[in-house]
Amino acid sequence: MQDWNKRPASEHLQSKGKHNENHLEKKLAAILGQHAQQAFGVIVVALAFSAMSYGQVGTGTLVGTVTDPSGAVLPGTSVSATSSATGQVRQTVTDSAGIYTLPSLPPSAYTVTITKSGFGTQTTQLDILIDQTGRQDFSLQIASASSTVVVQSGNTVALETESHEVAENFNGATLQNLPQTGRNVFSELEAAPNVTNDVYSNDAGDIGFFGTGAQNLTIGGTVFGNTSYLQDGVLNYNLLTKTANLQPTPEDVNEVNVQANGASARYDEPGVVNIVTKGGTNSFHGQVYDYLQNDDLDATGYFNTTKQQQRYNQFGASIGGPILKNKLQFFFAYDGER
């Protein structure tokens, strides 16, 4: 066996070099691991804030008071809201004043159930709208020891009594049935009070260059540039033109909220167009559409001998459904134009 001290100097250097390489590799791996953890932390925080942002502007809130037959409040009462579309359940209990609050509810039809020991169960059906705080109060009846009383209120809609905001809501079915030119959702929103297309600035400057005049709305008597556009909780406007960027089709929209007055301070403008697109549900659903304009289908004008050529075709499809029932759903949509 060769003595270490008698080994050539070159072998000493090679051994030392390998030791240094191993040390550097371990140090580099530790540094990369630390940076990976930091990057992961940043991503988690970013996702958390994005979820909070969506919860603030793409959802609604339900509040109310639960009382007994004499009008006395009932603290500790269980309140649950079940989405008719996805089956997701949100739960809370009333506080010491008998008040409950269910914030950040995605727009949908809900079944609200009120339960408390010694009282009959009460249920009601209602709709939650974007950016609105609906109020639904309940009065529970005393139940006998051997039975449970269930009161079915049936298809009631919570009214907006908790805010001074003046707003108009359009659901997807309404948008599909409204008269429309070019299937532009923003042009359909002119059906709301105090909403108009700003025709005076449509061809001026950056708006004319980008061709975004159709996505330019003024609301509540304001001037150009005082409208904020959001889609699924994210700002959706061109910084140069202050007009909407993404333009969903009527088939892709779940609900639109147009605020004309009294918009919350969380928005950057007094006028707000807030769009929430469709999502998957617990049942499979979809559609295929094609809107065709062709001069072959047009008649020749009475004083004309020829027809102007016209070729315009808008087509698309959408499909959605469950992946894991009550837990995970999907939705896909495509829209084309020729």
- Residues 126-185: pLDDT tens digits? 999 888 888 999 999 887 654 555 555 544 444 566 677 788 889 888 888 887 767 888
Domain check: are 332 and 190 in the same one? yes
Which pLDDT value is given to residue 319?
Answer: 94
Which of 143, 160, 177 is a domain's end point? 160
- Mind giving me the DSSP string for 259-306? EEE---TTSSSSEEEEEEE----SS-EEEEEEEEEEGGGSPPPTT-SS
Domain check: are 148 and 214 in the same one? no
For the chain, what is the domain count? Answer: 3
Q: Among 126, 118, 168, which residue's Cα sits nearest to residue 143?
A: 118
Taking the C-alpha atoms of residue 64 and residue 103, their distance in angstroms, rounded to an integer, is: 12
Residue % of the chain over a pLDDT of 90: 31
CATH label of the domain that carries residue 152: 2.60.40.1120
Q: Note down the domain range covering 34.
A: 4-57
Cβ–Cβ < 8 Å for 70, 98: no
pLDDT band with cut points at 50, 70 and 90 for residue 73: very high
In this structure, the dihedral spanned by the alpha carbons of residues 110, 183, 257 and 166, taken in order and rounded to 10 degrees, is -130
Domain check: are 90 and 47 in the same one? no
Q: Which of 6-20, 55-69, 108-122 is most confident? A: 108-122
Which of 97, 130, 160 is a domain's end point? 160
Domain check: are 306 and 217 in the same one? yes
Domain check: are 69 and 110 in the same one? yes
Residue 211 DSSP one-character state? T
Which pLDDT value is given to residue 55?
Answer: 45
Q: Supply the pTM of this predicted model.
A: 0.71
Of all helices (H) and strands (E), which one includes residue 16? helix 9-57
Domain check: are 170 and 154 in the same one? no
Q: Which of 91-95, 160-164, 254-258, 283-287 is most confident? A: 91-95
Taking the C-alpha atoms of residue 240 and residue 49, their distance in angstroms, rounded to an integer, is: 26
